[in-house]
Amino acid sequence: MSYLTYTGRRLIQMLPVLFGISVAVFTIVHLIPGDPADVLLGQNATPDRIKLINHQLGIDRPILIQYINFIREIFHGSLGFSFDNKEPVAKLILGRLPETGMLLTGGIFLSILIALPLAILAASKRGALRDQLVRAIPIIGLGMPQVWIGVMLILLLGLKFPLFPVSGFGDTFLQHLRSIFLPSLTIAILLSPILIRSLRASMLEILDSDYVLTARAKGISQTRITFVHVLRNAVIASVTVLGINIAYLVGSLVIVERVFVIPGTGSLMIDAIAKRDYPIVQGVTLYFALVVVVVNLLTDLIHAALDPRVALK
């Protein structure tokens, strides 16, 4: 099967998945306790006023009608309109994408930057002290909550040694880069242990393979064996691990954005939940779901491109 046909088929397969997600998202959002009008109007709002606003927002209509309206707005491309500021949800999400995109990219980039040398170092001599030390990193790294990591980084690199801003996103591109360093590092500290473990394991497996033995017998240097013959092949397995964990990272982004005051889609989601702004919660959840589905597809495609043994079916 050609690459293009495979991609097309996978995209079509995404449609029922997205439909299922839309039903699940809509149902879950409407199960959130609380009344949007009550949240909008504040503590002292009278029951009559709450009733009026609920009617204006259309949330007193039958649930099926509300779902049909939700689907209609998806096809219109607006994803509905915010209860709070009446803006189209799609516009609000698009407005927050650069922040989330930069943060995610920065996090992945720093993760790779941390994971690669440490995995190579560990795999270079199995069982040695350096291997033991590197193997300890994932255990420590995976045990730390992201909020705590974020706060510690702020205290150290934002206040004690004020190298980076404590929070915010900045106004210029350079300021953006400086601002997302600490949140990206927080993500990297969460993600890199998984990458280190996967990459180290793959490298050790390949180092034991026959073709590496042949290469050594041919007198090829250890550096060339590591970088050209071992690392290139070990990376293939790690791409899948990275892909799966990017999906998990979407959830972490919500917390990291909050701690570092990055106005991304995660912050949009949290605020919308607090305000019971159903259209935004539905829109962002759908968007996150779409990201996960697309990342999984891309992972499969990249894996197939890197490893000719993988057949496209």
Partner 1 sequence: MKSRGKLLSGLFAAITILATVVVPVSAHAAPSGDLIFVRNQDFSTFNPDLAQNDSIFIQQQVYEPLFMITPDGKDVKPWLAKSATVGSDKVTWTIKLRTDVKFSDGTPMTSADVKFSLDKATPGDGWGFLNTAIDSISTPAADTVVIKTKFAWAPLLSDLACFSNSILKNNYGGKSADEFFKSPIGTGPFQLDHWTPGTEIKLVANKSYWQPGKPYLNSVTWKYVVDDNTREFMLKGGQADINEEPPASSIASLKAAPGIKVGLFPAAQSRFLAFNHKVPALADVHVRRAISYAIDRNALIKVVLSGNGFASNSILAPNVGFYDAKTPGIQYDMKMAAKELSMSKFAKGLTLEFLASGGSIEDNAVASILQASFKKLGITLVIKTQEPSVKRKTQKSMEYQMTTTGWTMDISDPDELLTFALSPEGGTHAFYTNYSNKLVIAAVKRGQTNVDPKIRQAAYSFVQKQVAEDAMMGFLFNAPYKYAWRSNITGFAVTPTYSYHMEDVKKG
- Interaction site with partner 1 (CB under 8 A): 33-35, 38-39, 41-44, 46-50, 52, 84-85, 87, 92, 96, 151, 154-155, 158-159, 162, 165-168, 258-261, 263, 267-268, 270-271, 276
Contact predicate 142/193, CB 8 Å: yes
Min dist. Cβ of residue 37 to partner 1 (A)? 10
- Between 48 and 210, whose beta carbon lies closer to partner 1? 48
Length of the chain: 313
- Between 113 and 155, whose beta carbon lies closer to partner 1? 155
- Between 259 and 281, whose beta carbon lies closer to partner 1? 259
Would you state the structure tokens that stand for residue 298, as one six-digit string? 């891309």
Min dist. Cβ of residue 171 to partner 1 (A)? 11
- Between 26 and 260, whose beta carbon lies closer to partner 1? 260
Range 139-143 contact pairs with CB under 8 angstroms and sequence separation of 24 or more: 139/193, 140/193, 141/189, 141/190, 141/192, 141/193, 142/190, 142/193, 142/194
Min dist. Cβ of residue 288 to partner 1 (A)? 17
Contact predicate 238/202, CB 8 Å: yes
Min dist. Cβ of residue 46 to partner 1 (A)? 5
**Residue written as tokens 């990376």?**
235
CA dist., res. 188 & res. 165, Å (int): 18
- Between 44 and 223, whose beta carbon lies closer to partner 1? 44
Residue 81 DSSP code: B
CA nearest 74: which of 19, 27, 28?
Answer: 19
- Between 38 and 205, whose beta carbon lies closer to partner 1? 38
Min dist. Cβ of residue 47 to partner 1 (A)? 6
Instruction: Provide the 3-class DSSP secondary structure of residue 193.
Output: helix
Min dist. Cβ of residue 147 to partner 1 (A)? 8
